[in-house]
Structure 1
Amino acid sequence: MRKLAIYHLETLLWIARLGTFRAAADRLGTTQPAISARVREIESQLGVTLFRRDGRGVSLTARGRQLVQDCEPLLAGFERALMQAGDFAGATGVVRIGVGEIVAASCLPQFVGAVSRDLPGVTLEIELDLTARMLQQVLAGARDMVFLAGPVASPGVRTVPIGAVGLRWLAAPELAQGDPFATPPALWSIGSHSPIHTALLRAVEDGLPCRSINICNNIRAMIGIVAAGAGVALFPEAMVSDAVAQGLLVEVHAPPVQKIPFEAAIRAGEQDPVILELFRRAGDLQLG
Structure 2
Amino acid sequence: MELRQLRYFLAVAETLNFTRAAERLGMAQPPLSQQIRKLEASLGTPLFHRDRRSVTLTEAGEQFRSDVQRVLADLEAARGQALATAAGTGGRLSVGFAGSAVFHPGVAQLMRTYRHRYPGVQIDPVESNTPTLAASINNAELDCALVRLPFDLDHGRYRYEVLVEEDMRLVLPPGHALADRDDIALSELSNDALILFPRSLGPKLYDSILLKCQAAGVTPRLAQQSPQISSSINMVAAGFGVAIVPESIASVHAPGVSYHRLTGRPLVSGIALVCRAEEARPAVANLMAACKAIRGAL
Q: Which runs of 5+ in 2 are unaligned?
A: 3-81
Whether the aligned pair in 1 keeps the contact of 2:196 and 2:222 (CA below 8 Å) is: no
Indicate conservation of the 8 Å contact 1:176/1:250, yes or no. no
Sort the Cα spacing of 1:80 and 1:214 in 2 relative to 1 into closer, same or farther, 3 A: same
Q: Which residue of 2 aligns with 1:154?
A: 155
3-state SS, counterpart of residue 176 of structure 1: coil
- Are residue 184 (structure 1) and residue 196 (structure 2) matched? no
Q: Which runs of 5+ in 1 are unaligned?
A: 3-77
| Aligned-partner residue type, residue 123 of structure 1 | Q
| Residues matched between the structures, number | 207
Deviations 1:183-235 (A, max 9, x none): 62211112314233112221343332433243213233211111232211111
| Correspondence for 2:227 | 217
How far did residue 111 of structure 1 move?
A: 2.1
What is the Cα deviation at residue 182 of structure 1? 6.7
**2:84–2:90: 8 Å Cα contact kept in structure 1?**
no
Distance 2:257 2:98 in 1: 24
Residue 257 (structure 1) shift:
1.8
- Is the 1:165–1:237 Cα contact (8 Å) retained in structure 2? yes
The equivalent residue for 1:125 is 124
Two-structure CA RMSD over aligned residues (Å): 3.3
Higher CA-based Rg: 2
SS at 1:283's partner residue?
helix
Give, as a single letter, the amino acid of the residue that structure 1 aligns with 2:197. I
Correspondence for 1:235:
245
Counterpart of 1:197 in structure 2: which amino acid? Y
Tell me the residue number matched to 1:94. Answer: 92
Q: 1:212 to 1:247 in 2, by over 3 A?
A: closer
Q: Secondary structure in 2 aligned to 1:117?
A: helix
Q: Separation in 2 of the partners of 1:182 and 1:150?
A: 24
> Is 235-244 or 153-162 further displaced after alignment?
235-244
Classify 1:183/1:141 alpha carbon distance in 2 versus 1 (closer, same or farther; 3 Å): closer
Q: Report % sequence identity.
A: 17
Q: Which residue does the alignment assign to 1:198? A: 207
Partner Cα distance (1:183, 1:100) in 2: 30
TM-score normalised over the length of structure 2: 0.59
Q: More displaced, 100-109 or 163-172?
A: 100-109
Residue 271 of structure 2 corresponds to residue 262 of structure 1:
yes
Offset at residue 158 of structure 1 (A): 1.1
Q: Distance in 2 between matches of 1:196 and 1:82?
A: 38
Give the ranges of 4+ consecutive aligned residues of structure 1 lying more than 6 Å apart after TM superposition. Answer: none
Q: Distance in 2 between matches of 1:135 and 1:219?
A: 18
Residue of structure 1 equivalent to 2:50? none
TM-score when scaled to structure 1? 0.61
Question: 1:116 is matched with which residue?
Answer: 115
